[in-house]
Chain A
Amino acid sequence: MLAVQQISGAGQVLAQRAQLPAIDYGALAPLLVILGAACVAVVVEAFVPRPARWGAQVAVTVLGLAAAGAALGVHLSSGAGGVVTLAGTVAVDGPALFLWGTLLALGLGSALLIADRTVEPGGAFVADAAVRVGTAQDRAQNRAQRAQPGGTTPGGTRAAAAGGHEEMQTEVFPLFLFSLAGMMAFTAANDLLTMFVALEVLSLPLYLMCGLARRRRLLSQEAAVKYFLLGAFASAFFLYGVALLYGYAGSVALADISQASAGTDRSDTLLFGGLAMLVIGLMFKASVGPFHTWTPDVYQGAPTPVTAFMAACTKVAAFGAILRVLHVGFESTSWTWRGVLWGIAIASMVIGAILGLTQTDVKRMIAYSSVAHAGFILVGAMAMTPDGLSGTLFYLLAYGFTTLAAFGVVTLVRDAEGESTHLSQWAGLAKRSPLTAAVFGFLLFALAGIPLTSGFTAKFAVFSAALADGMAPLVVIALVASAVAAFFYLRVVVLMYFSEPAADGPTVSVPGGFTTAAITLGVVVTLLLGVLPSFALDWAALGGFTS
């Protein structure tokens, strides 16, 4: 802008003084706080001595989340309506605020899981990710790990924290904060370029975080590479779609695209081609089938706290963006893309439900369940009504907490080799640890959509909105898919309660405060949203999109 102004100073055109765009700092505060915390975390990583880093990072992360939450609260209580700021690139409106609140709360839960050092002595993250697997250094690292056997006692933890080898890679905290900031920006992005930048900001740290597992490092690194390569493809599709839409509308702002598509005689090729490409990129992030192929491998390979973060927050962010794109940019053309999205939703539900049946690994099973749930959420996202919007937002909130807590429980069941994720090892868990089994059973019931859990109210909200918007056949398919999916959730419940525990089965670690807090948070919210959903539903219905 300034450069333009300099030339035009000599010339005559573009004579108006360029205005710096106004920035509504109050509305943006939560996002800025998280970004600021991320930068502080980088500085901490650079300057704080290694033994003290973990504590400092946890403090920065939790304080950052709390401050962002407080800023959000202040903005909400000020009663300001939807705001479009930063020269129209960011819209802080009802859905964005709801999703920010959801992301911050889920982020807090994820951060607690990430920070935990009691379940896995020293934390779930490797001390030095750059050491190649199988080298002498890696062996040395593993030996140091083994030196503290068992290690679920507080004493063992302290010893682990004191021994330098045991320290986990604390870079995970700034990565986490940057990713979270990217997610928040993703849900509030009012134009496609901002959305793309946010997409990359949220994705790149995630790719790295996936590769940081302390145990089964090859699997973890493979997951990271797969996620990165496929993610790069998806980003490319997204960008291609943006380019096509720019070609169509002459702008990347969602509102302009919407305006351009309403009542013109322009060729629709660019519009549809662009939208299709865009949707592919977004669906990939939300792990909607058939763009889900990365999901099981990555969920399984990534360190479980990161998986929890991905499963809960990425889904929220991606669907936040999908909702905004569909509602703001393409509402007037909904009749053209709905058919295609029907197909995608059906594919996702069927793939998730059917493939989930064969899984023998808990993490992979929840991964497929997330694919099926993505299909359910998409059903709600397609309903272009206020009920559809609020129902989908509610679903995201409910699903996020349930899945977060479920992965939290997964971290607890372990044997000498780390987490025992094979289902056969979960047999008879109820006899070993009734509380863990009861909590996990409850979460599975929630995922299956049994009444008095958030799963039921969320499904009901979404399906009834879809039904009211004339998508009865899709709702029927969704219910059938729920029934099939219920099959594999319930099978795990049966396995936990009715099987004899294996003689050399895993033990259930007694979690430290952090993991306990995260799981409790998830379980309590799951129950509350099931029994008293009104509060969250009312908040979700507070306002529509502003653009």
Chain B
Amino acid sequence: MLALVAAHLALAGLLPLLSARSHRAAFLVGALLPAGALVWGLANAARALGDGVTETTSWAPALGLSFSFRLDALGLVMLVLVAGLGALILAYSAWYFGPDSPEAARSAALLLAFAGAMLGLVLADDLLTLYVFWELTSIASFLLVGQGGEDRASRRAAVQALLVTVFGGLAMLLGFVLLGEAAGTYRISELLAEPPRGPMVGAALVLVLIGAFTKSAQLPFHPWLPAAMVAPTPVSAYLHAASMVQAGVYLVARLSPAFAGLALWWVPVVVAGLGTMLVGGWHALHETDLKRLLAFGTVSQLGFLMVLFGGGGRFGDVTALAGMAMLLAHGLFKASLFLVVGILDKRAGGRDVRELSGVGRALPGLAVMSVLATASMAGLPPLLGFVGKEAAFEAFLDGGGTPGLLIALGLLAGSVLTVAYSARFLWGAFASKPGVAAAQPQRPEAGLTVPAWLPALGGLALGLAYPLVDTLARGYAAAYPPTGAEYHLALWHGPGLPLLFSALAVALGAGLHRLREPVTAMHRRLRTPVSAQRAYELTVAGVERVAVLVTGRIQVGSLPTYLAVILTAVLLLPGTALVLGTTLPDEQVLYHAPMQVPLGVFVLIAALGLVRARRRFTAVLLVGVIGYGIGGLFVVDGAPDLALAQFLVETLTLVVFVLVLRRLPAHFREARSPRRVALPKALIAIAGGAMVASSAVVVSGARQQAVSDVSREYIRLAPEGAGAYNVVNAILVDFRALDTVGEITVLLIAAAGTASLVLATRYDRHRAERVISGSGGPEHEEEVLG
């Protein structure tokens, strides 16, 4: 199975070569591969309905990643939709895209790649394999949708689709990982055999559901799907009707046998599903663009499917039977209808309800086929849609109790809307409208009509051959607890509540369609306070606002601010360690020589003065003063050698500074910062200094390491071996004299280098109009120093 998927991806990579010669050939060659996949699936149907066909290929053993695939009843149904419709739609595309369409080359490759990814998704038997293909379908879909998008609206639509599905995908990945960790395995079949339980699983399931809802455009994530209708029609037919959007439903169906008993799983699924069904159906009633009408219809139908697959554990296996039938039916009729819209768009000059008129009379064949498909959508006998809907009502009415009745009533309302928008579709596409000029459609060629006819006929054939569907669905529904009486999918179950509901739906739906103008007027007056679209926009805008705010505060490009951030972190990190682990050394005295007090005050005053200094030279001098003050403290503490070193370094630094200062302006140029900026800076600086000082005290007290052998030996040897009473001196000039010589040498070389650099760049040498070396000349110095 991996080979099958890989073949799709590989051929997709090669198709552009073929497209360069002929678009049509590229599409047709591409169509062969999904057709082959379909044949392979059907040939393995018997095994799939039995134990299932499995295959595992190791991917990254070090990570425990592998590609696992399994073909079972549910997989087979999805395979039929994905591969069968994929082949048809690719063939349709061969005629849909003109010979010099700029989009054709890309579409052919991407559609095939998408088919491969989708195939991998529905066959995956490993949560991570599933995730991999899930994300690939998101990206392929994004690239497919995006190609037409040049205006602002379609751009936003593409971003929205991508953001919503990728966000959902990542949430789902997290859910998968949690689920896999809780169960100890990522294999779906093992997971279903022994479902894990626990609080972790609850969180995991919610995350997985977010992923499923985003992909299948469920409430409140639904707005992305109608927005994605800017894509070319074959793409919409494939992605947004038959395959990709069904992935969320598929995921719920896949995991439901294990978790459907949990209220945490089925309640959100059923509630969101019902809500989506109603909202989608309601919006579909008012759309004037046939494609958007179908998109909202898809949203609605996906909600219906969610209800069916989510309710399986609570309401028994009949819901699963209904779900399987509806899954198949929906893929077939929706693909057919989308293809019809594509034909209308190309050959009848548009897809706007208000502009199409008289198409039915001109193209009766197309109208008949559409009637067939819409009838299945509306749930009319003897089509597959009717078989599924009957079973759905039966499942919730029979033994479902009050919740079952409520759900059934919800489904009835949804079905009424479905019938109404089905009628609206037919009316909009084919009816002759008074006051609108009749369209003069061209006759579509067989390449366009045959792929549309086949799924429509499929809905009829499967409706008549319901035992076949029943066998297929039973292979999946066996995983659920059985309901009392054995139920089989069939066209006729005798009179009863389900039949009454079906009839009511058709009658009320037809009525609703008659009243379409007042209803639409009412819809216009209705102002919904909560809109999912607005919520999405507000979320995006809100995140951006927060980000701008934070960036404006801390990433201003100012060095002091950056330093403040780092200092704060320092205060928090070692500062916390300091406070927590503090053992103050005993007998701390403030000072032990009176001379320390004036020196300390002197240093402090110099430091404060430094902060206030406006002239660079003053600032440099004050830095020197601080250094000399510290040196003085060394003297008081009886370390004249240290003090000497300090004085020397300070003097040297001062000299270097003065050399540099010659090239800098005399004053600091920045304006003094206002108090509200200066104060936090001062506080952080003081806190940082205090932290370092106090840590010095604490740390010196904390040291317990015994004096090392080397040190003891040095101390012993200094007087007798080197005749020195200052051990440090003895080490520098005697014990490690060679090191010292080396250091002096390095220092000398560095100093010589620095000096030569300073001297070399004093003046510029001009040789034949070329500047040889660096900095500005004397005039420039004047200019800068003023």
A interface, CB within 8 angstroms of B: 2-4, 7, 10-11, 13-14, 128, 130-132, 135-137, 140-141, 164-165, 226, 229-230, 233-234, 237, 244, 247-250, 266-270, 272-273, 275-277, 279-280, 284, 290-291, 293-294, 296-297, 340, 354-359, 390-391, 445, 448, 450-452, 456-457, 460-461, 463-464, 467, 472, 475-476, 479-480, 482-484, 486-487, 490-491, 493-494, 497-500, 533-534, 537-538, 541
Contacts and interface: CB of A to CB of B under 8 A. Distances in A.
A234 B565 CA distance: 13
Nearest to B62: A537
Given A7-B717, A226-B562, A534-B61, A290 B574 contact: no
B695 A452 contact: no
Given A294-B562, A452-B132, A130 B739 contact: no
B736 A266 contact: no
A457 B580 CA distance: 40
A476 B154 CA distance: 33
B297 interface: no
Interface stretch (B40-48, B552-560, B620-628): B552-560
18 contacts: A128-B771, A131-B771, A230-B563, A244-B699, A250-B706, A269-B582, A273-B577, A291-B565, A354-B546, A448-B166, A460-B65, A483-B167, A487-B543, A490-B166, A494-B158, A498-B146, A498-B155, A499-B155
Contacts of A2: 738
Nearest to B739: A3
Nearest to A131: B774
B677 interface: no
What interface size band does chain B fall in? 35 or more
B573 A280 contact: yes
Contacts of B702: 247, 267, 269-270
Contacts of B487: none
B536 interface: no
- Sorted nearest first, the 3 A-B pairs with minimum C-beta distance are A130-B774, A293-B562, A276-B574
B702 to A, nearest CB: 4
Contacts of A483: 166-167, 170-171
A92 to B, nearest CB: 23
A59 B261 CA distance: 69
Given A268-B581, A357-B543, A534 B177 contact: no
Contacts of A237: 570
Contact of A291 (B177, B566, B739, B764): B566
Contact of A445 (B139, B150, B574, B708): B139
Contact of A3 (B543, B698, B713, B736): B736
A290 B559 contact: no
Interface of B: 59-65, 128, 131-133, 135-136, 139, 142-143, 146, 149-150, 154-155, 158-159, 162-163, 166-167, 170-171, 173-174, 177-178, 181, 543-544, 546-548, 550-551, 554-555, 557, 559, 561-563, 565-566, 568-570, 573-574, 576-578, 580-583, 695, 698-699, 702-706, 708, 713, 717, 720-722, 734-739, 761, 764, 770-771, 773-776, 780
B132 to A, nearest CB: 4
Nearest to A14: B713
A464 B565 contact: no
B143 A497 contact: yes
Given A357-B543, A475-B177, A464 B63 contact: yes
A380 to B, nearest CB: 12
A14 B713 CA distance: 9
Contact of A7 (B563, B578, B734): B734
B594 to A, nearest CB: 30
B483 to A, nearest CB: 39
Contacts of A464: 63-64, 177
B166 A137 contact: no
A491 B160 CA distance: 10
Contacts of A486: 166-167, 170
B704 A267 contact: yes
Given A7-B721, A460-B63, A290 B565 contact: yes
Contacts of A230: 559, 562-563, 566
Contact of A494 (B162, B557, B576): B162
A273 B578 contact: yes
A273 B562 contact: no
Given A128-B771, A130-B774, A280-B573, A293 B181 contact: no
Contact of A4 (B551, B554, B574, B736): B736
B606 to A, nearest CB: 21
Contact of A137 (B59, B562, B737, B771): B771
B159 A490 contact: yes
Contact of B570 (A269, A280, A356, A480): A280
Indicate the member of B63, B576, B773 with the most A CB atoms within 10 Å. B63
A414 B427 CA distance: 54
